[in-house]
Amino acid sequence: MITSIITFVLTLIVICIIGLDITKKLNVLHKSFMYIFFIFAPHIVLLGHFFSERTKIGQDNFICKWIILTAMIVFISYLWMKVNIAPNTKKQIVNLRLRVMLGGRRIVLYGLYTALIQTVIYLTSRATIQNFGIPKKVVIIDSIIVVLTIITLLVNGMLRILCTSRRLNIVKRLIVGFWSFIPIINIFIMLYACHIAAMEYDHECYKVINHEARVDSAVCKTKYPLVLVHGVGFRDLKYLNYWGRIPKELIRNGATVYYGNQEAWGTVEYNAKDIKDKILDILKETGCEKVNIIAHSKGGLDARYMISKLEMGDYVASLTMISSPHRGCKFVDIACKIPDKIYKAVARFFDKHYKLLGDKNPDFYTASRQFSTYHSKKFNEEVKDVEQVYYQSYTSVVKNIFSDYVVAIPYIFVKLTEGENDGLVAIDSAKWGEFKGIFRNKGRRGISHGDIIDLRREDYKGFDVIEKYVEIVSELKNKGY
């Protein structure tokens, strides 16, 4: 009678716990409970054997024994599936990608905890297992299940992080994936991956808080529409935005955004005419009197020339220049010393292929030489600022040759000849109008010439490029532009 009551109560408890968890009235994935779960659950075979052979219920009542064993298996299986499929308990999960990534982090930590605690258990309980006379076959099966439990947790968790984290680029994913198979080292690699996931989650939550706080504020709703002007070598494409995630966030916060639509390898003079035509179309379309221009790299030179030489000062309220080489680049001076025959052959190659990409009049030879310090000095003497236009500039810096492999070689030349730079443009060269500052971050990487336009669509420690543009446009709004 007592055996039947115990069996009924234990079965009822299991059913109630699972039912309450399904109805979200109880959280079985609470950390304190999971720490206990991963001590005992991997030993389901050992526990089942002990219950069957060492307890009165297990020895005397066949039916009750199997009811209790079934309840135990169902309960452990339910928790195991939930941990591996939906391990999140946090309410503030921004989207599915973050849910998967954060779940991966938790699963990896459970896997590392299980590996540690089970190692301690096996090292300290060997004599106890022998004293109980547990068959060797049971011990071997139990050990296999423990190892499979740990491997499943770690593989599941790492795959989730590697497949969803935006802070892990392709190179980092390959490195992390490779070293994850190396014992001992993989512990630190997995902890690093968990740290990256936590940082990314916190950053995304911070952005959500900002979005919610600015729902009705329209912080980027400037008096005049924005015109984003790209740099050299790129075009304004519909499905591959030069400015990454930035325009979408500006629009979300009230901005009206247009693009310069100038050529990738057009000369300053040619591109200035393209931008002028685009701005006149925008003014006609919107009925506005002026526009605000935000220009990156050579786009700043194109815009300056347009305002000054094409009499567009009355139609431009402000010009914000990001990492524009106003005083040229000394490494271009070195490139200009390449034999002219070779230089022109390279230029013809670029011109041919950029025509296929949409440029009507690419001129690599002239456009690239316009970055020389000699040409820049002459340019600055001839292209004067227009008084009624507000000019401001920003730049960024990378911290070492390994910061961004794309600009590693020019970084060395600029560093040796001009000092701190973003991989292409030195700080002094980027200053024009009211210089508003240098973008830096807390990490070892720094912020490169491409990072400042969200080229890789990645987030970096201590710097939010999207939020920075929101601040820039918000300041323009507050200034009345």
CATH code, 219-478: 3.40.50.1820
Domain ranges of the chain: 2-210, 219-478
Question: Quick check: 213 pLDDT over 60?
Answer: no
Query: Mean pLDDT over residues 313-339, rounded?
Result: 94
By CB neighbour count within 10 A (0-12 exposed, 13-18 middle, 19+ buried), where does 301 fall?
buried
- Measured CA to CA, the distance from residue 301 to residue 50 in angstroms comes to 80
CA distances from 188 to 149, 179, 184, 279 (A): 20, 9, 7, 53
Segment 381-409, tens digit of pLDDT: 999 999 999 999 999 999 988 888 888 88
Segment 398-453, tens digit of pLDDT: 998 888 888 888 999 899 989 999 999 999 999 999 999 999 887 778 899 999 99
Q: What is the mean pLDDT of the chain?
A: 89
Question: Quick check: 217 pLDDT over 70?
Answer: no
Query: Mean pLDDT over residues 218-246, rounded?
Result: 90
Model pLDDT, residue 378: 95
Query: Mean pLDDT over residues 144-169, rounded?
Result: 93
Segment 446-476, tens digit of pLDDT: 899 999 999 988 888 778 899 999 999 999 9
Q: Tell me the torsion sign for CA atoms 24, 30, 33, 36.
A: positive
The separation between CA 34 and the C-alpha centre of its own chain, rounded to angstroms, equals 30
Length of the chain: 481
- Measured CA to CA, the distance from residue 297 to residue 104 in angstroms comes to 39
CA distances from 189 to 83, 118, 193, 434 (A): 22, 20, 6, 44
Query: Mean pLDDT over residues 131-144, rounded?
Result: 83
Q: What DSSP character marks residue 266?
A: -
- Closest-CA residue to 63 (of 112, 4, 117): 4
CA distances from 69 to 340, 348, 375 (A): 84, 78, 84
Long-range contacts at 79-84 (CB < 8 A, ≥ 24 apart): 79/28, 79/29, 79/37, 79/41, 80/41, 82/21, 82/28, 82/29, 83/29, 83/34, 83/107, 83/110, 83/153, 84/152, 84/153, 84/156
Catalogue the E-assigned strands of 289-431.
Answer: 291-296, 316-322, 390-396
- Measured CA to CA, the distance from residue 178 to residue 181 in angstroms comes to 6
Residue with tokens 């680029």: 169
Segment 282-320, tens digit of pLDDT: 999 999 999 999 999 999 999 999 999 999 999 999 999
Model pLDDT, residue 273: 96
Give every CB contact of residue 356 below 8 A, 6+ residues apart in sequence. Answer: none
Question: Quick check: 214 pLDDT over 70?
Answer: no
- The alpha carbons of the chain give a radius of gyration, in whole angstroms, of 31
- Measured CA to CA, the distance from residue 303 to residue 211 in angstroms comes to 31
Q: What DSSP character marks residue 406?
A: G
- Is residue 216 very low, low, confident or very high in pLDDT (cuts 50, 70, 90)? low
Segment 33-56, tens digit of pLDDT: 898 999 999 988 888 877 777 777
Question: Quick check: 91 pLDDT over 60?
Answer: no
Tokens of 229: 């002007």
